[in-house]
Structure 1
Amino acid sequence: MADTVSDVIIRRLKDWGVTRVFGFPGDGIGAFDGALGKAEREGEGIEYIRPTHEEICALMATAHAKFTGEVGVCVATSSPGGFHMVNGLYDAQMDNQPVVAIVGQQGLASLGTFGQQESNLERVFQDVACYVQTIVSPAQAEAVIDTAFRTARARLQPAVVVLPHDVQAMKAVTPPVAHWVSRASRVPASSAITPPEEELRKAADILNAGERVTLLVGAGAQGATDEVLKVAELTGAGIITALRGKDVVPGDIPHHTQQVGLLGSLPSLHQMHECDTLLMLGTNYPYAEFLPETGAARGIQIDLKPEQLGLRYPTEVNLWGDVRATLQALIPMLEPTSDPSWQRTIADEMRGWEREEEAEAMAHYDDGANPRRFYYELNKRLPDGVIVTADAGTTADWYAHHLRFKRGMRGDLSGRLATMLAAMPYATAAKFAYPDRPVICTIGDGAFQMLGMNELITLKKYLGRFSNKQFVVLVMHNNDLGQVSWEMRTEDADPVWRTAQDVESIDYAGYARLLGFQGIRVEKNEDAASAIETALAYEGVTLIDAIVSRNIPPLPPDITKEYAKNTGLALLKGDPFEFDVIRDSATALATEGIERVKGALHLGRGGKHSDESQQ
């Protein structure tokens, strides 16, 4: 049987290193799916993972790219399937991930004629993708696939290939040496970009002159951990990680103060207020109000995305380059500091902050368990090599505040898009990428109900192929879209509107047991540790249904007047949980205040850092 265009595309995918695609079938992509099936039967196929929804396919492809550094690939049928993938592709776009989507289309003759499931897919995907192209002839197929992969990898963005149904089954041709025909290369563009030496020297001079250097490290520094730590050692710098860069720097580095901003730590905020030099590494951190005041610090930024350089802070030097390669070229130009006082100050305050976080996790509330307690107990028991995902919402707060990743551990979430439900497809994709490693998904009940519950079905389908079957789903069950409820109060001074905010309560542990998994329901703080130990000891899927309070505030490290004022106004307008919110907020604030006083007294006995710790 002669090769078809679909056969050629499948071989080309393998040439680009693709071993797995996430797809959902349909008639618009039918001939391509048939070719995938034929390749599988002949032992030359690509692993085809079929979750329960096309949006999940795209999110899994994005997560695959994040966790492996490879190009993620998703496949869907024409219009409805392609439309479902858009959200996941925006996640890839906004978090700078290389993904290639192959989307079916009705036959060539139907284009522009208002046919069944025929729409202008190129126009639909034009905003989300860095490259969108329809394959309209066999001679064009290889060049389009190669361009999609090369562009996605070089620009760290999604690319979309539209594949009409009749073209999928056309007889393949070798691209001829002819006018209008491209004969493409299967070689990616090099991304180990380093800036010119004179620009590196400018950056080195600024860092060498700094007395209080801070590194803000993002996910773009993945793979450059040793270089980041070397720069911190030479410059005496403190380290802050953006939320998606959390796993780049080990959590046991004393001068690593974790995140900054609403989900961050007070030591990170103090670093930003007091540093005289800021080096931003592979981050597009979006909250400018938490960066130094203009002119307060000299700024340098290193990033592979040139359009994102100098965008968040008025930097003096913008280095377009790969973080690891650029730091390797920069390090020989740095002069070692002999003054460790900045790092020591940061480490001292961070120890106090950790005590405060522990106290907040141990606090008792009358209207449900403390969600912080589960993350605190989980952090103490994270197994080696674990991969942890978090969802958008308050789970991201607890993830940021309480989890500390050691070397070899990974963690991620939907960053700039912050889409709900991503934690489950992220975790499932991580399990496919690393079937020998434990995976933990932390998610709220609202996100879990969106599509997250579906992915327990996907796990049931594929569980047998994982050598390590440990997979833990930690559901924060508070019957509320918690983050949005708090945003209504703190941002808009509105009371919670239960018509929109309530989440229907169901037995999540029972649902897990229905599928043959281990389900554990937890209602008390003191049972959190044993539940997590039981889950981590189980060789299979465990769902922990954590019944937690909906009224515990995700407190920022520094409460602004606007935050306090808006919350007060919301309560005065008749918030349905007014009493519980006041009581639980008072408990959280009291715990926070007591620990800060203790920290101030502790540091005061040591002398020099007492003023700073009281800020």
Structure 2
Amino acid sequence: MNVADALIARLQEWEVSRVFGYAGDGVNTLLGALRRADGPDFVATRHEELAAFAACGHAKYSGEVGVCLATQGPGAIHLLAGLYDAKLDRRPVVAIVGQVVSTALGSGYLQEVDLHALFKDVCAQYVQTVFAPEQALTALDNAMRTAIATSTPTCLIIPHDVQKAEMPDELPHSHGVVPSTATSARPRITAPPEQIRAAAEVLNAGRRVALLVGRGAAGAADEIAAVVDALGAGATTSLLGKPVLDESLPWHTGVMGHLGTTASSELMAHCDTLLIVGCNDPWTEFYPAPGQARAVQIDIEPRVLGAKYPVEVAVSGDARQALFDLLPLLDHNTDHTWEHQIHHWTGTWLALAEQRCREQTVHANPEFVVRELSEYLPGNARVAVDVGSATYWYARHLRLPPAVPAHVSGYLASMGCALPYGIAAKLDAPDKPVVALVGDGAMQMSGLLELITIAERWQQWDDPRFVVLVLHNGDLSEVSWEQREMEGDPRFPASQDVPSFPYADYAELLGLGGIRVTDSAQATIAWQRAFEAAHPVVIEAVVDAATPLLPPLMPDAKADTVYGALAGEADGKAARDRVDRQRSAETGDHER
């Protein structure tokens, strides 16, 4: 048995189900070991970056460690974006990377790159080069354990000659040889009682309590609902926290932030007490103004406590357990004034959202197209969301069934994540339908490539449904609206134009289904047909590029900046009219 065979056998001991990667001579020995072994499954993506995104997606949907494999030099470099996605969203991923033969290191050899330097930031918790067979299993175990313990990516670098070296049958019991085991365990972190009591004192003193819920509160929906009920509070979520709570509840104001709802903005602007649960959302300008609200933060990660908002009480522990311990100490609020106000804001937002979705547009209304998915999304589906306009419409308009997981590249906010995420979700649960929401920019960046992977594999799935919505507006629209809002500059066509492409026809060329939607009325039947199909389907929705991607309750000064930018665009009137109508509806000022 060589080192490569031993490493693959060790991955089996760690119960790694699949490895995402791309072939190259620097990992040929590892690929040979994968061929000989009965697992893990090797999933070939069309590019190493997509392998790393898929590994991150596997970690997000399964809760397990994602593993990716790439050769030395360019292959290793291509992994970086997906690994940074895992680092910033705190997901365990192990990258196994080939390297030139150890005798050539430092000589300027073909494809030689200082891989330790390359990965030292993205895999800061653990990067190790294996130089001897006796080191290999311990290094892999440490990479796996560290990824699990720190929820971050780690990296194992294996020169080609070491992969081929003979693995000793038994490690010698001698100085300098460290034995290891393929095992790890997570601790249960319980907050100290004094922190729970201090949190209860602050919350009981509040009269207008709001909860900001993030991904770290996953699994605590019942406890959150009980806290809301006791305090007569309202709750909003971060983008990553959207799947945590049932958005049909009257006290749930939706997602907060730039891509959030008016109800969430009102909740944050008027609360006097804020309970932050498992959330480290970066949109600090959408939090309550400093000094407005007393704050309590619950998080299992001490480094984020007080990192985005001044908190009076920090509670370090598991969110669900901390809320469970907190509940008996809460006074039940019998004044329902604040509760009624929250319900009013929520109802107002739902009416505004319906109005926006029903607005007539030149092409299909993207808000309606995504909202309509709510009516047909199966209760056992998995959702992958790309970065761009699709993120906004997902955040504001898609009503997720309870317990349906949905993921997006959160802190890195990288385009091109949805298709590899969706593939990872599907391979993890081939009996469940998957939906990917993608803009045309992200689809051209990498999504078209991964449709090939879907076409290659879909007939192996128990449930073949994999629906890809492409929002085809010919514009990098999030960038265009950011340019108008933040820079006050008109849209720059040379930078933001997305060339037209026949996405539905391309899907059919690959043997998949393709449906083209050109007006809103066609969206309903498109979703119906897609979920009834016995194969993956691409819905190409030709949508209106003038639909604003702007924050809720936008201040007048910022609106004036947007208006100034649109005035410099030859075809900016349609977008300006849309902004006018949205702002008038939000404020009730119909004479603007």
The answer on whether the counterparts of 2:365 and 2:520 sit within 8 Å (CA) in structure 1 is: yes
What SS class does the counterpart of residue 20 from structure 2 fall into?
A: strand
Match of 2:557 among 553, 559, 562: 562
Q: Deviation per CA, 1:172-206: give whole Å up to 9, x if none.
A: 23333322222223332423211222222212222
- Rounded to whole Å, the distance in 1 between the matches of 2:209 and 2:587 is 29
Among candidates 433, 438, 447, match of residue 443 of structure 1: 438
Hey, what does 1:310 align to over in structure 2? 306
Aligned to 2:159: 164
Q: Which amino acid aligns with 1:444?
A: G
What TM-score comes out, normalization by structure 2 length?
A: 0.96
Q: Percent identity?
A: 42
Q: Which residue, 433, 443, 466 being the options, matches 1:471?
A: 466
Partner of 1:612: none
1: distance between equivalents of 2:140 and 2:335? 54
Deviations 1:396-434 (A, max 9, x none): 111111011121212111101110011111111111111
8 A contact 1:445–1:476 mirrored in 2 = yes
Structure 2 counterpart SS, 1:244? coil
* Higher deviation after alignment, 84-93 or 258-267: 258-267
When residues 284 and 24 of structure 1 are mapped into structure 2, their CA distance, relative to the original with a 3 A threshold, is same
Secondary structure, aligned partner of 1:243: coil
Q: Does 1:104 align with 2:98?
A: yes
Structure 2 CA distance, aligned partners of 1:592 and 1:301?
31
Match of 2:134 among 132, 139, 145: 139
User: Following TM superposition, by how much is the alpha carbon of 1:382 offset from its aligned partner in structure 2, in angstroms?
Assistant: 1.6
Give per-residue Cα distances to partners, 1:518-558, cap 9 Å, x unaligned: 11111111111111111121121111111111111123211
Secondary structure class of the residue paired with 2:8: helix
How do residues 330-345 of structure 1 correspond to structure 2 at under 5 angstroms? 330-345=326-341
Matched with 1:611 is none
**Aligned counterpart in structure 1 of residue 288 of structure 2, from 288, 292, 300:** 292
Q: 1:38 aligns to what?
A: 36
Is 1:232–2:238 an aligned residue pair? no
Call closer, same or farther: CA 1:527–1:490 in 2, change over 3 Å. Answer: same
Moved more, 376-385 or 155-164: 376-385
> Pairwise mapping of residues 207-606 of structure 1 onto structure 2 (< 5 A)?
207-366=203-362, 368-572=363-567, 574-589=568-583, 592=586
Deviation track 1:8-59 (CA, whole Å, cap 9, x = no partner) reads 22222222221111111111111111111110xxxx3211111111111110
Between the aligned partners of 1:324 and 1:21, the Cα distance in structure 2 is 32
Shift of 1:330: 3.0
What is the Cα deviation at residue 587 of structure 1?
4.4
The Cα of 1:590 is off from its aligned counterpart by 5.0
Task: Write out per-residue CA displacement over residues 210-259 of structure 1, whole angstroms, 9 at most, x where no aligned residue.
Answer: 22221111112222222222322333321111001100101222111111
Q: Secondary structure at the match of 1:453?
A: helix
Q: Measured at CA, do residues 195 and 402 of structure 1 come closer, stay the same or move farther in structure 2, by a change above 3 Å?
A: same
Answer with 321-330 or 559-568: which moved more: 321-330
Distance 1:313 1:425 in 2: 34
- In 2, distance between residues paired with 1:328 and 1:146? 35
- Does the CA contact (< 8 Å) of 2:134 and 2:171 recur in 1? yes
Cα distance in 2 between the residues matched to 1:371 and 1:312: 32
Q: CA deviation at 1:591?
A: 5.2
Local SS of the residue matching 1:264 = coil
Contact 1:112 1:119 in 2 (8 A): no
* C-alpha separation in 2, matches of 1:210 and 1:588: 33
Letter in 2 for 1:15: E
Query: 1:551 is aligned with what amino acid?
Result: A
Separation (CA, whole Å) in 1 of partners of 2:312 and 2:151: 25
Aligned to 1:206: 202
Find the aligned partners of 2:101 and 2:345 in 1 and give their Cα distance: 64
Runs of 5+ unmatched residues, structure 1 = 598-615
Provide Cα deviations, 1:347-378, integer angstroms capped at 9, x if missing partner.
Answer: 23212211110110010023x22111101211
Q: d(CA) in 1 for partners of 2:562 and 2:29? A: 57
Give the partner amino acid of 1:38: R
The residue number in structure 2 matching 1:48 is: 42
After superposition, the CA RMSD in angstroms is 1.7
Residue 582 of structure 1 aligns with an amino acid whose one-letter code is: R
- 1:218–1:283 Cα contact (<8 Å) kept: yes
Looking at structure 1, the residues matched to 571 and 559 of structure 2 have their Cα atoms a distance apart, in angstroms, of 17
The alpha-carbon distance between structure 1 residues 36 and 240, as it changes in their structure 2 partners (threshold 3 A), is same
Q: Which shifted more, 286-295 or 93-102?
A: 286-295
Code of the aligned partner of 2:436: C
The whole-number CA distance in structure 1 between the counterparts of 2:229 and 2:274 is 15
Q: In 2, are the aligned partners of 1:125 and 1:132 still within 8 Å (CA)? A: yes
Is the 2:244–2:403 contact (alpha carbons within 8 Å) kept by the matching residues of 1?
no
Give the C-alpha shift of residue 166 in structure 1: 0.9
Distance 2:229 2:178 in 1: 50
Aligned mate of 2:5, from 7, 11, 19: 7
Find the aligned partners of 1:408 and 1:362 in 2 and give their Cα distance: 28
Count of aligned residue pairs for this structure pair = 588
SS in 1 for 2:155: strand
Q: Is the 8 A contact 1:363 1:587 kept in 2?
A: no
Deviations 1:480-511 (A, max 9, x none): 11110111111101111111111110111110
Query: CA contact under 8 A between 2:56 and 2:92: conserved in structure 1?
Result: yes
1:182 and 2:182 are equivalent in the alignment? no
Instruction: Give the residue type in structure 1 aligned to 2:422.
Output: A
Cα offset, 1:274, TM superposition:
1.6
Secondary structure, aligned partner of 1:159: strand
Q: Is the 8 A contact 1:460 1:515 kept in 2?
A: yes
Rate the CA distance shift 1:179–1:317 in 2: closer, same or farther, 3 A: farther
CA 1:188–1:593 in 2, change beyond 3 Å: closer, same or farther?
A: same
Q: Which amino acid aligns with 2:99?
A: Q
C-alpha distance in structure 1 between counterparts of 2:580 and 2:269, whole Å: 27
Give the TM-score normalised by structure 1.
Answer: 0.92
Q: Distance in 1 between matches of 2:486 and 2:52?
A: 32
Secondary structure of the corresponding residue to residue 211 of structure 2: strand
Quick one: distance in 2 between partners of 1:353 and 1:411?
22
Task: Tell me what 2:107 maps to.
Answer: 113
Amino acid at match of 1:583: D
The one-letter amino acid paired with 1:4 is N
> Which of 24, 27, 33 is the aligned partner of 2:25?
27
In structure 2, C-alpha distance between the alignment counterparts of 1:154 and 1:321, rounded to whole Å: 15
- C-alpha separation between the residues in 2 aligned to 1:8 and 1:325? 40
Report the Cα distance in structure 1 between the residues aligned to 2:405 and 2:165, rounded to whole angstroms.
43
Partners in 2 of 1:522 and 1:593 — Cα distance?
A: 33
Structure 2 gaps, min length 5: none
Deviations 1:574-605 (A, max 9, x none): 324223322333444455566x98xxxxxxxx
Tell me if 1:62 matches 2:60.
no
* Amino acid in structure 2 at the alignment position of 1:187: T
**Distance in 1 separating the partners of 2:328 and 2:11:** 40
The structure-2 alpha-carbon separation of the partners of 1:90 and 1:369, relative to structure 1 and needing over 3 Å to count, comes to same
Deviations 1:445-481, CA, capped at 9 Å, x for gaps: 0110011011111001110121111111111101111
